[in-house]
Amino acid sequence: MARLPPLNALRAFESTARHKSVKRAAAELSVTPAAVSHQIKALEDYLGVQLFIRHNRALELTEAARSALPKLREGFDSLANAVERMRAHKGMGQLTVSAAPSFAACWLMPRLHRFFDAHREIDVRVSARLRQPTAGGRRTFAERSTLDAWLADSDVAILYGRGDYPGLRVDRLLALSITPICSPKLVADPAHPLLWPRDLEHHLLLHDDTGALYDGVPFWEVWLEAAGVSGVDVSRGPHFSHAMLAFESAVEGHGIVATMPVLAEADIKARRLIAPFEINVPLESSYYLVCGEEATGRQSVAAFREWLLAEAAREPAGELPAAGRQP
């Protein structure tokens, strides 16, 4: 390989030739005009070839300079592309995901092994994060504050909300709905079987507080209103800040919870939980994948986004797994 002249000298020549001005080249390279002139003189001495014909107020490229300039520009473009490839590869090695705890535990983790298998070069770090609850009608403010905090030290965030996050890349993952779910033994309770929604008045209500905390309306109130059921006291029963905690209580047969069955998929398929009623009520909120616009160009983020959207697309929109339906 031929010995190359100093890179700084080549940069000084390329910039001066492009601008046909030492002064403009100096401003572009953040050096003094004298430094540019020195680099060009050193390059001419190194090559033994004159590159510029110097007039009083202008520079003229010699034939040698004109013939070399296109290839030199091409070379600098190739160097810039190579540097970007190296920078992108540096970001390929690690991906940090902040996610709502119940989504992370109940939906993401059972699927994440498929991403590991497809992208062994990416070191994934999942952080289950708490978010600010809605207070005094400030839902949008609470969601954005949560996102800003999560994305400050994560590449992507997955949270429950409405998706109105200006300035961020937002992808809706799941169409969510709620319905009551419980242990099969509750449905078959000889004293008070769960045959109709009005039978709920004989059972302990468990509360997944996701709706109350982040939408300002409890899930039980939403579902009972849609089902046209009155007379059920929704003020009673234990409350859980995360859906997965309510699932555990329901599996043990402690009561029945109005929640998002998509998160209870494993328990429903295993028949640890069932949905006694056919009424599924759609939610306005959903789970969203969110990241900064600048992060979308990183290969690790792009790979995770593509995989996650494909996984979410496999979910039947707003439906229960077939094993959970009860006649």
pLDDT tens sequence across 265-320: 999 999 999 999 999 999 999 999 999 988 888 999 999 999 999 999 987 654 44
Q: Which CATH superfamily is domain 177-282 in?
A: Periplasmic binding protein-like II (3.40.190.10)
pLDDT at 316: 66
Cα gap 318→313, rounded to integer Å = 12
SS3 state at 199: helix
pLDDT at 6: 84
- Can you name the residues that pair with 52 across neighbouring β-strands? 61
pLDDT, tens only, 121-165 = 999 999 998 876 665 545 556 788 888 889 988 999 999 999 999
Q: Fold match between 94-175+285-319 and 177-282? A: yes
pLDDT at 98: 95
Token code pair at residue 254: 């402690």
Q: Where are the domains of the chain?
A: 7-91, 94-175+285-319, 177-282
- Tell me the residue ranges of DSSP E strands in the chain: 52-54, 59-61, 94-99, 123-128, 156-161, 168-172, 177-181, 205-208, 239-240, 256-259, 281-282, 286-292
Token code pair at residue 225: 């209103």
Percent of the chain with pLDDT over 90: 53
Q: What is the CATH number of domain 94-175+285-319?
A: 3.40.190.10
CATH topology for 7-91 is: Arc Repressor Mutant, subunit A (1.10.10)
- Can you name the residues that pair with 123 across neighbouring β-strands? 94
